[in-house]
Amino acid sequence: MKTLKTYRSVCLQIAAFALAFAFVIQARAASPREDLVHAYVLLKLANHNYAGHREAAIKELEIAGHDLGLDLHGRGSERERQLKSDEQLAEAGRILHYTRDRLDAHDRERAAAHVDRAMHEIDLALRVK
């Protein structure tokens, strides 16, 4: 009986370690620049029915990306293509909000105003129904 409990305990510890290790590998934080590209892709994949605010946010991110020397024309994943449009915009807004303050000082000076305007346009777009 004691051997069975010890075996279970060891198995649980191994499983917990494996789960924690897998999470750490998956949770690799993207750089702020990668997050800007990801937000851009989400906006590009969203529907076009936001009274021009989605397009305005895209243009602001294109300017910010150009200022930072980023290639914004990445392809979204299958998971992104399956998200609903409002969810895509909301996710892009969350990414930008989180990313803006993580930009290094030099990048923030060059792109923060455009990122701020893009976030504002996303907020306005999500209010359009």
Render pLDDT for 67-114 as a digit per residue (tens, 0 to 9).
Answer: 999 888 755 444 444 447 888 889 999 999 999 889 999 998 999 999
Mean pLDDT of 34-61: 89
With contact defined as beta carbons under 8 Å apart, do 42 and 91 qualify?
yes
Q: Which of 69, 71, 51 is nearest to 122 (CA)?
A: 51
Residues 57 and 115 in one domain: yes
Residues 53 and 88 in one domain: yes
Residues 15 and 51 in one domain: no
Residues 76 and 102 in one domain: yes
Residues 42 and 100 in one domain: yes
Residues 67 and 37 in one domain: yes
Quote the percentage of the chain above a pLDDT of 70. Answer: 70
Mean pLDDT of 8-30: 55
Residues 44 and 79 in one domain: yes
Residues 21 and 37 in one domain: no
Domain housing 69: 32-127
> Could you please report the per-residue DSSP string of 20-71?
HHHHHHHTPPPPHHHHHHHHHHHHHHS-S-STTHHHHHHHHHHHHHHHHT--
Q: In which band, very low, low, confident or very high, does the pLDDT at 123 lie, cut at 50, 70 and 90?
A: very high
| Range among 6-20, 25-39, 87-101 rated most confident | 87-101
Q: For the chain, how many structural domains are there in total?
A: 2
pLDDT confidence of residue 34: 87
| Range among 4-13, 41-50, 90-99 rated most confident | 90-99
Residues 20 and 69 in one domain: no
Q: Which of 127, 114, 61, 128 is nearest to 92 (CA)?
A: 61
Residues 50 and 102 in one domain: yes
Residues 57 and 41 in one domain: yes
